[in-house]
Chains A and B, each alone.
Chain A
Amino acid sequence: MRPATEAELAEAVAGASGPLLVRGGGTRTLGHAVGEVLETGGLSGVELYEPGALTLVVRAGTPVTEVERVLATERQRLAFEVPDLCGLRGRKGVSTIGGVVAANASGPRRVQVGAARDALLGVRFVDGAGIVIKNGGRVMKNVTGYDLAKLMAGSRGTLGVLSEVSFKVQALPEVEATLVVEGLGDEAGLKALRRALGSPFDISGAARHSGRSLIRVEGMAGSVAYRTGRLRALVGGDVTVKESAASAALWREVRDVVPFRGRPGEVWRIITLPTAAAEIVAQLEAEAIWDWGGGLIWLLTDHGRGAEVAAAVAGRGHATLVRGEGGPVFPPSTPDVAALVAGLKARFDPRGILNAGLVI
């Protein structure tokens, strides 16, 4: 099914006789939900764009590339830097903005501006009974009623099918620059990232892979030059500075986990404390790409090491399998939290038809 309007979407869900597999572009899907495919790609287009208020309201099935194109015409962007994991996961498809929200997919700039959920101002969605619900809105400060927009972000279509999302967007910076730090081991290289993030120099990216630490600053030309200079002195190691397109290319690699593309093995996405980042990787003796100053680890492992990964992360974060078959996809919840999640699922989707079988 591919509804073209929110009303058709509501009708499709209300009239469904069995499970529905909710899909934007199918590029970020995890797990093994089953059912008749319900595509949101028909709900496409910009509802409202007000560059002077940094506000964008867009239908959930709009391709991410289209959103980015519209914003670029006004020299603006989605601040949270949408990752494209198609190459990593060997997927094809047109990523939709609703899918980005449903996965709360956020890239390197998360350390500075927060995740997709932090840029999300409001949602419209159809719940499992086919009822249209709106929450939040288009203004930047809004505490009217409960924040269901946050609940929908990252819920992977298990509570409702998004029909419209609104965002706070960001003006493009005048310039960007990346310090490339070489000559440090992983422990020291990660420490350099933490030192930069603990400085007042407003870091918009802090990553490490292939023996290099990357630190990004963005903004007005004078400011970027100033901060680059101060950071060079602060982090140590052999520093070179890449600017503009050369800098942007470095961050696309990190954002899209390019170094693991086409490589055999399973890929884990680990959320942890930056200070635990080196140790977890050392303990698992696997290849890593660190982002968010070490708070995010992309880990390439052999098949079947799920239990080891879970043990290494236990008590200091959580791990999700994003490519491979080596264990449960999502980390387990505590029984109390699982009961709350089950309670919400039962009320938002009483028939249990939305992405049935997906437990997050």
Chain B
Amino acid sequence: MWLLGAILDAGGAGTLQAASAKPTADQDVVQRMANGDAGALATLYDSQIRAVFSLAFRIVSDEAEAQDVVQEVFAQAWAQAGRYDPARGSVSSWLLTMTRSRAIDRLRARRARPESTRLPEDLAVVDLPDPARGQEHAVLQDEAANRVRAALQELPLLQRVAIELAYYEGLTQSEIAERLEQPLGTVKTRIRTGLLKLREALAGESAS
């Protein structure tokens, strides 16, 4: 804990300043949405659509369904803008939480249908960042994503699979245990150890 404090103090205002720019603008946009400003919704769409669509597609593996999820998420954001509370998290977290939830609902509904062996249209499972990409927005996007992605790749395979089954496939601990043919306690431990390792990996990088 002392270490964290020291790092933060040393980090100084520069990093905080960079972090605070966007949320302020986003929060203002959500406030305008709550007042019925359609232009504000367009602004929110333009700043968040790639993250929302990418997550929706990652979960449902289907272009048309991912588009439906996007529509539901922005409809929900429009309807609930007045209830958004900045103290609970960033606008981006708010939207991505809704996105995961809507997308997982669809995945579960699909699993419940027997004739649902529709294949994902896109089997590109590998998305290595291209170091040559220099556009500003692309770098920012990759920075946020790579932070977790890089640490995920360091995890033992089954820890990572258990976490991905939970977060991206919406399986509960019992369903994961069944899928991986592991005892419930083992699944619990794998997910916990995996997440704590992700956190430590991130903290360790900064300390060095």
Bound pair (A, B): no
Residues in chain A within 8 A of chain B (CB atoms): none
